[in-house]
Amino acid sequence: MISFVGSVFSPYYHWAGRREPDDHVCINVALYAPGGHRWTMTERGRKDLKRDALSFTVGPSQLRREGDDIVIDFDEISVPRPPSQWLPKRIKGSIRFTADSVTSQVFDIDGNGRHRWWPISPTGRIRVDFESGGEDWAGHGYMDSNWGTEPLEKGFAQWDWARGRLPGGDAVIVYDTVRTDGSLGAFALRIRPDGEIEQISMPARTRLANGFWGVPRAGHHDHGARPVLRQTLEDGPFYTRSVVRTRLLSENIDMMYESLSGTRFASPIVKAMLPFRMPRRAG
């Protein structure tokens, strides 16, 4: 789940000149299950936005602080995703995230401070309860935040991000980017449940099969090991989300990977394709 203010992937925000971020907000819900995937990313306008220090509401969905927990109430309509889902479907429920700790370090990921990332709580517990559209479950969770002062595609030509959980509970996070000026930005972190952040040596990198649309992706691993692409969860003209099994810090782990082509996303043709997956309801 991702909440957006001035949605970085919104074609409507781009076409409007990126002048009014509060008029381009959404709460994205993505569910992956054996019975079929669900995706909602309905953009709404300023009239549907309410926020203060403890809550963020977009239309029928809301994030709020409840004690030390973050609670997300969602009520959205998924877009069709053939072949598993041919009709829109309501997804309604709640998520409760209990962080193990909150970190204090913010990272500059483009080298000049225009794109920043904060791993707020890299480890924690999560519970999901559905009223409609899914099955209840509980497990481990993660929360972070990105923000910037320029479009993502202006800063990055290629972007690989990965997060996994070691058997002992530590999180491993890898950022591996190619900036539009040709420079490289890469770092790897091990973050313990108490919030202690350790920068580790950047692991080896191996190219994996491109997505259906040709977006390049890779897997990171210990020297001598090889990553294996286990599952493709999202596959679009500029973005893929995948599960990669690999070996890091001498442990076998599954990592969630996000690969983005800023070069592809900069294309007007690609932006014109996005309203199908990202409808706007601003009335």
List, as one string, the DSSP characters of 85-120: B-S-EEEEEEEEEEES------EESSSSSSEEEEEE
pLDDT at 80: 79
Tell me the per-residue pLDDT of 174-186, one tens digit each, with 9 for 90 and over. Answer: 999 999 999 999 9
Sheet harboring 2-5: ordered strands across? 2-5, 25-31, 38-40
Sheet harboring 156-165: ordered strands across? 197-200, 184-191, 171-179, 156-165, 251-261, 239-248, 228-235
Region 83-104 average pLDDT: 91
Residue 14 maps to a domain = yes
Residue 244 maps to a domain = yes
Q: What is the span of the domain harbouring residue 135?
A: 2-276
pLDDT at 85: 73
pLDDT at 35: 78
Residue 10 maps to a domain = yes
21 preceded by a cis bond (ω within 30 of 0): no
* Chain centroid, CA 129 distance in Å: 21
How many domains are contained in the chain? 1
Residue 257 maps to a domain = yes
Average pLDDT value for the chain: 95
Here the tokens at position 66 are 């409840």
**Rounded distance between C-alpha atoms, residue 23 and residue 19, angstroms:** 9
* Chain centroid, CA 108 distance in Å: 17
Residue 281 maps to a domain = no
pLDDT at 283: 67
Residue 283 maps to a domain = no
Torsion of CA 241, 228, 142, 81, to 10 degrees: 30
Residue 152 maps to a domain = yes
Residue 26 maps to a domain = yes
8 Å CB contact between 176 and 160? yes
Helix (H) or strand (E) holding 12, with range, is: helix 11-15
Share of the chain above pLDDT 70, in %: 99
Q: 175: exposed, middle or buried (C-beta count within 10 Å: 0-12, 13-18, 19+)?
A: middle
Tell me the per-residue pLDDT of 54-79, one tens digit each, with 9 for 90 and over. Answer: 999 999 999 999 999 999 999 999 98
